[in-house]
Structure 1
Amino acid sequence: MSTLKLSLLGPIEIEFQNKPFSGAPHDKSFMLLAYLAVERNRPHSREALADMLWPDLSAERGRHNLRQTVFRLRSLLGNGKAGDFVETDRHRIWFNRDSDYHLDLEQFHANRADGTAEHLLKRLSNYRGTFMEDLRGEVSEDFDLWLEQQRARTHRQMLNMLESICTHYESQGDLSTALRWAGRQVEIAPWDEHGHQRLIRLLADSGQRNAAIRHYRAMAESLKRELGISPSKETQRLFEQIEQLPDITPATYPAQDSHLTQDDTHPGLIHEYRQVTVLRCGFSYRKINDPEAFADLVAEPLLRAVRIIEEHNGWILAARGTGVLAYFGWPTADERAATHAVRAAIGLANQLSDTPIGSTLSTGVHTGRIILTGETDSPDTIGLTTDIAVRLQASTRAGIIAISETTRRCIHDHFELSALPPLSMAEQTHPLSVWRVHRSESGPSLESTQQRPPLVGRDAELNSLLDDWAVAQSGRCVVTVLVGEAGIGKTRLLQALHDKLGHPLLRETHCDPLMRQTPYQPITHFFRRHLDLPRNCTDAQIADKLAEHYSNFPHQGKHVIKPLQWLLARTDSHHEQTEEGRFNESERSQLIEAIANLLETSAKATPLLLVVEDLHWADPSTLTLLGSLAARLAESRIHFCLTMRSTSCLPGPLLDRARILQLRPLDLNASLQLTYRLAPPDRTSGDFALTIARQSEGNPMFIVELTYMLNDDELDDALPGKLQELISTRIEQAGEDRPLLRAAAVIGREFSLAHLAQLLGLPEQAVTGGLRRLMQRHLIERSSEDELSYRFTHALVHQVTYQSTTRSQRRELHKQFASLLMADANSDVDAGGVAHHLTESGAYAEAIGWWLKSGREAANMAAYAEAVNHFERGLHLLEHVPERGNLWETELELLVNLAYPLAITQGYYGIKSERLYRRALDITRDKPVQARQNLALMHSHWLGASSRSSLRESRELAGRMIELAESANAKAFAALGHYLYGSDSLLLGDFAAARTHLEETLTRLDRKNQETEHFLRNDQHFDITATGTLGWTAWFLGQVDGALRLTQRAVHMSEARHHPATLTSALVIYIFARICCRRPEEVAIAAKQLCAICRENGFRMWDDFGTLAGIWASAVATPPGETCKLDQAEASLQRAVALWPGGAAALQYILIDACLAKADDARAWKILAQFKKTMDSTGAAAFSVYGWIAEADLLTRGGQDGEPCLREAVEVAEQQRSPTLTILAWGHLIDDYRNRGFALSEDICRHLQETVDRCSGIDLAPAVAEITRKLSGTA
């Protein structure tokens, strides 16, 4: 892959070393790099480049900006050979054509003489849209001319290529593919009538007469409406010919670029779920007996209430009688629906308090889901959500605003709340939590004392802001624009900056989505809050407040007060006002100068931090004013910090002065860290944190909201309301394409054009226009280089879209799509996909067999976590089908197949494993089970028995397995039985039997045998693990060289087969053998590799073993005085022992040895006591000698006699007939004797020498080699 990737055909995308550039497309660095790359065949003079990019600046200033831009480019592109993309000399700048770069435009124009379809498709794949389409131009006449020339050239070339590719497929008789490319041609050139003719003709030729007619009529109407002309005579004749064709297609299809109508889509997709906020306010009439008098009293307040609610984006359903019922977030989704509803409620309380009946007003607000059916007179057809809002209002005392718990979750950061008594409703299982909203709104201030989430993963961005602040302190105004999607952490980063700077002088305001057509709204908002102006104050009150604050300015502040009076003296009907209607050019200039004077005066005393948030909602007047202020205050100590979601609305003058700071999603590590810091300590399991981190895809607000769900006992499985609002608003942008989006959501996060079209029963070209529009709105994106595959841009966008479809509709669509998958003869059936869609459709009995099939496929690919999930889903469904008894064979297969994936991912012992085994055993007692099924069940039982009970019991089970396999002529099962018997014998200290049975395993496992191949595919590869285990056995039998060779071979074999579970087992055995040989450097390397594999595949137990082994290597290899992570090692040990009690002795010995190396005697004694209990319960005698030697060492260090322990070690080693253990035990005993002044008898010396002679490769084990040298000296 190229180091630098420039994608200019479409939205500008520049990547360096696989990381996207941060910044806006209008950034001059982007523009310069793109220009140089496109015009790479020649050098460019500095003067010409400066004049082209900064035409309004002086020549000197332009060259200065050019130098700074080139410097920034070279910094971004690295230094050295990989970074020499932009080269310079004193007078010129050029792009290095020999550098490692990829330019899509170059590929698009490459080899134009090659007209083959394959080459055309390759060139077409580079075209994502208009050349640098997100660049508006207006840079300079020269640059704009160059941009238009490039756009015209690429557009012309694209049309020629589309013409050629359509002709090719049409000539081949592939009309469906020709149709797709003809549709693409019409999308790119909607006014090219020749392209429309081709598409109409192809539709007719493919039998889609109605679609052809429909497209002609849509084109004719568009030409008439937009250009005032009719189709050409040629096109009209084509239409007349098609009209004469017989109607052979009963269905009607939408035109290529039209929206899908309700008739075009699946009938269920016209209904959808939507989260809305309902407000009910009412006046009390208890003290008024005369209905007519009450009507007179309430008439004027009701009119005012309606106006206030509509100002806050509410939709009035009813305004009569005793109150008003309104909806927020309908008919148009609103990401701040709950906030706007509560603000409306506060506005009602404030502005109606002066009416005779205002004191009796009470308000209820509730956020919930409704089902939309297309009716406009009453959105909540079921009425449950509305009913709760009405009940809240009816049960609330006068003067109180009551909101539900779901509303609180949406607005908790913005208002001061207190708890009210719960509301009991007969229809609800539990009482509803109710909260009171106080009239004081805390607001999104950087100085707010509300608890904030931790700032994680933003060190680089915070340092950039601190650097900009330092520049501002020095006396040069800096404009920093923080850009990123909603929830990415722009405000939180500014809060951190404010705290880091020690709370400097701050001026802040924000833009409101309801006020985006109101001139200077954020400026007005700031001064009204700063001056503490009431909403309906008079002009005189405004003048008094201004005089009070600014009379100390020069000339009694008249140059400040008068323009601000113009700004603030506005009527209540500000929504209808325009800038032209309120200010002339002179007044605008005076307003800019007044605000500049105020800021400049403040900044003279101390540097000023000026924050304007949510600038994507700013009105044009505010944007212009900010640009003028930045220019006017260029030499002031002011740091402008602006936040927005996209820089597309920034005017050129402001953009030229700004430094764009693009906030990207957090990486996985930062997401995990944030989750751990937010969640309660007792609820931060690794699996949970990983789920949150992945589901949020690095968006900090998503992480916060999803994590806070843990603390809320009332939460159901639905997404938090705050996220529902935000994402529903994004989905609302799909408009009439929402049914298409919901159908895609049923298929999954990723989907193909073909599948979506088949599900809707439409031709592919009928949905491509909708998909293109959904991509433009950033709801979906292409999932690969394949133009026909798509994915939702975010997992939560997919989730909310999916949940917006009613349950009955989803089930029907899932059922249809499962049938499509099973009927797809062009590809291998996706068993997991079929199982999922059958399950969601409610066809549980049919789905169970598919879960078994998909689980086996996952296990075959060593995807054990997925295999566990699929097998368990099948077992779960069995509990919900009435015909469970008839499916016993499938159930037994699920249980047997689940055993190994469950063991490798969750440990060899657990309550779940025991329960599943008992269920399988019950089936075998009642049903006619075949021998091979019994053998498989015995294997799964062995996995638990080797840990749950003694190793002798599990070895007896392996023996019975061998006998049954022999009688059934099941060779692979017999070989497996020998492997299990040999493994148990090794741990029991019966090394000779271990070697015999492991060698038998290798003899019997013939990989050419079909049954053996099945075994090696569905479980770990026993020929490899048997090789490794035989190597470890060789160590105990004195063959050190054989031990090292065989365990190394096992690792190499497993690496060659790319089987993670087998490689894990091989590495574990490799590490054990090298710990025995005392080779810490090799252990450290293998432990690191093991941990990486385990974390990638979810093998928790062996991950802890790898950690323990790595700490052992560090302890043994470093001097006793150096610290070591023994606390971490002990924690890893306890987790591993809980998952594998049968192997506990081996793990405990490793930590004991590490403690001895670091002289941590207290911990060593504690683990030794656990070790002895393990030995008694499991019989793992292979480590008995090590235990006695360790105890002797600890006794000697404490001034006690360790000789009895060493004698026990010698005796055990001799009984086990292990030359290596015998040497180790005698070596320690000889040291003890020498310290006492004792000598060995000649018989013992001769025996020891014979023992040494029976060994091989002793020099390869440093500790054993040292002892043998002592023994040789003694002998």
Structure 2
Amino acid sequence: MSKIRVRLLGGFEVWAGERQVAGFESQKVRALLAYLVCNRRRAFSRDHLAGMLWPERDGDTARHALRQAVYNLRSKLPDAGAALLQVTNAEIGFVPRADLWLDVEAFEESLRMGSGRTVDPHHLSAAVQLYRGEFMAGFFVKDSPDFEDWMVTEQVRLRDATVEALHHLIESYSRRGEYRFGAHYARRLVAVEPLLEEAHRELMRLCALAGQRSRALTQYEELSRLLREELGVEPLKETRQLYQSILSEAAREEIVADPEEPVGPMVPLVGRSGAYVRLLEGWSQALAGKAHLTVVTGERGIGKTRLIKTFLDVATAKQTCGVLKGRCYELSPLQAYRPFVEVLRGALAEAAEGSGQVLGLVPQEVLEDLARLVPELRDLRPDLPQPAPLAGRDRLFVSLRRFLESLCRSGDPLILFLDDLHLADRDTLDLLAFLVSKLAGPIWIVAAFRPDEEMEDDHPLGQILHRAEEAGSLTRLELEPLVLPMLAEIAESLVGEDQAAELAGFLMQKAAGLPLAVNELVDYLWDEGILVAQEAGLWKVGRVLREIEVPEDLDELIRLRIRRLPNSTRRLASLAAILGQTFEVQLLQEAADEHVKVVEIGLEILLKRWLIRQFAYFWTDGRGDEAPMAVWAQGGRRGSFEFAHNRTRKAIYGELNPLRRQAMHAQVAAALEKLRGDRDCEALAYHYTVANQWEKALPHLRRSFERALAVGAEDAAQRYCDQSIEGLSRLAAAARSEVAAERWREERDALRERAAKLWP
């Protein structure tokens, strides 16, 4: 920590260590300090300073006043200002390399790092956190017009820079579909520029996108009042049309305006500058036209996914490119090549939205093969003929390679983001190995996984990395826990200077540098009313932190937060955990058999507590009107969501009584069949199996077995075969008659014979 810290954004504060420096004898002494510290790379003549601050006095009197001001400064700064002030008979200035931190300098450096060739939300959010208010807000110096002119010029310059940064952040989070984050920065923009109608309109749009229609309507009323009182005008036609679009949907339901509860604390991403550089190395290879693999590793909760998503915001901000994402899951249905199926579905979702000519770039024979993996492709291309049986999976692998390469035909690079690869099955890793060795062109595969201590050199994932490294197409990046200075940066961004040390020490003791634990602890403090919202996006610690008892185990902390939710919301969260890491609201509502309003309120609470977030299959570009506002205004229940972290979902799932868990899996399976028939046979097989309803599970296990065989996914096929044999054995053992038992045994034996032929 610097010896002296000066804060001029939002007021005037000088700190020496943990002590705020006071006792400056006048506003002109403070003005002198502010002017010198903001220009500390140069020294000023005594005549210039005296004339600027005491223009009403004659030369000798003004210079005497300056000497008195310098004396007062020296008497209040540590060590009589010897290490800070540089004073001669002719000039006065700050020592250029003095141990001094100035918020304006930190603000401008964060802006510089976040506003280069590509926009970097990580650094821009740090800049916005530093902007606590107008430069030297509320400061006035009598009879010093030159100083006033300089101060006003700085106020306008820094305010304009903040407005531009906020616009970039709003656009970035809108593009990623994280509308609640976008709304947070839109509120900051409204606070900085309350008469900027565009800011109010953007806040309305983002609130509607986030399902907060009543808040969007309330924002319009606030804007109307403000414009009438301050300018005597009404909102623009564009703003009125947006209001009517939201209102037309809201009028169909009973809307009760919610109180203006702030969004929970947003923990900034810190301590990852070196990781950014390593990610940039891999991305640069793709920009140069070479396929490249980058792997981000680290323990559970270290922040792999957040880092990659933040970097992808940077990469896509100014560079036109495609981003497709896929993920591996635990406690979920087994599906052949699942992350790559998600990649394909993302591309199809983008095509269905009309935001790209995806399918027009791909040869028909390739689409015919890919329809084996994603049958819904035929909804977009009903002209595709039924494919002949595969002689081997090599053709399917080649077709996927050709599909991905065709997306780069226009010259724009493609990013594949594969998450949680340590959970991948053998079939998925075989396909990944093929793509890593065969893909050509500007394609960047960025993958995250948690290394297994038992992962041997002959593990398929280890072999993929080894071969890529030998080929010179691999970048490795391992994330480490956060250390105290990084936690201090987080703490200061949340609670400001005076409480930062206490909060940082608390986080260090309880979270041990794990970013997920830091987030959960901060959210817990907010849940409990210990972190209280203040102005300018800051928070205040309302109790002595060392007196607060918090579970040592992170999973127990998550469960404690869940237990504090209302009963209906807790039941909804449990059912969502049964559905999976990602879940569709329509299916959740059907399985819960609750009124739509109960579901919507529950989702709103989970969103506010940062336990879930909105989910989109593809990386949106955030430009233009992606859908009519009437669709935006339909609220959160119309889309898909995901748990904020897979550990959150596991903690909720693990809390359930085993018998209750089985019953809820049966609920989900019944809802799934009602909504989609037997189309999602893998999901139905999974839920009925976990529900211990083997007779219902069996037809879906058989179909899943055949589907896996049809695409050459032998690992998945063997597992479905084994599960089917187990189910048949259980049914035979539980049969009420010998005839039924014999039928199940005969079917089991026939399946065993087939398995012996398939895998001798």
Question: How does the TM-score come out when normalised to structure 1?
Answer: 0.21
Specify the structure having the higher radius of gyration (Cα). 1
Question: How does the TM-score come out when normalised to structure 2?
Answer: 0.34
Taking CA–CA contacts closer than 8 Å with sequence separation of 6 or more, which of the two structures ends up with the larger relative contact order?
Answer: 2
